[in-house]
Amino acid sequence: MPALRAFSRTFCKNQTDADDLVQETVVKALANLHHFTEGTRLKSWLFTIMRNTFCSRFRVAQREAPGASECVSGNGVTPPPQEWSVMASDMQRAVGKLPNCYRDALEYVILDGKSYEEAARHFDCAVGTIKSRINRARQHLTQEFDGRRD
C-alpha cells in the first residue's frame, strides 16, 4: 500500500485524488485476481493497473470535461439579454443625473482608464479632489440603484 500511495502521487497532485486512485486500483486488482499470474511480481501488476486506471480516467476527463466553456451541461439557463440592456440604460441614465464635476471625473478615470494623477492634471486640481469626486459619484449611483430595489 505505501508503494501504491507513493506511485499515485506521481499521477495526482491532490492527496484525495491520489487516495481515490489507490482505492480504485485495489478494487480492480481484487476483482481481477484470477488474471494475476503466479510467480510474477504483484507490485508491478498493481502499478500497471494503476497506470491504466489513471490513463482511462484522464481520457474520460478530456472527453467529458465538466465546467468547460463548450460543455452543454453548464448552460442550463441563459440569462435574457434584455436585462443587460435595461441595466445599461439605467446606468447611463443614472450617470447622466450626476453633477458634471462628478460625472466627468468618473468617466475620465473609470471609463477612460486614466490614473488619479492624470485626472488631477487634466482637471487642474488635487488628486484627493478627484478621489472625492469619484467616491461621491459612486455614492450617488449606489443610492440611485438602492432606491429602485425597495
What digits encode the pLDDT tens for the residues 61-112? 777 666 555 555 555 666 677 777 777 888 888 888 889 999 999 888 888 8
The residues spanned by each domain of the chain are: 2-64, 98-149
Domain 98-149 has CATH 2.60.120.260: no
Fold of 2-64: Rna Polymerase Sigma Factor; Chain: A (1.10.1740)
Residue reference for cell 484525495: 16
pLDDT digits (tens, 9 = 90+) for 2-16: 888 888 888 888 888
| Count of CB atoms situated within 10 Å of the CB of 137 | 23
Q: Model's pTM, two decimal places?
A: 0.45
The DSSP code sequence of 49-76 is HHHHHHHHHHHHHHHT-TT-TT-GGG-S
The answer for 67, left when phi > 0, alpha when psi is -120 to 50, beta otherwise, is left
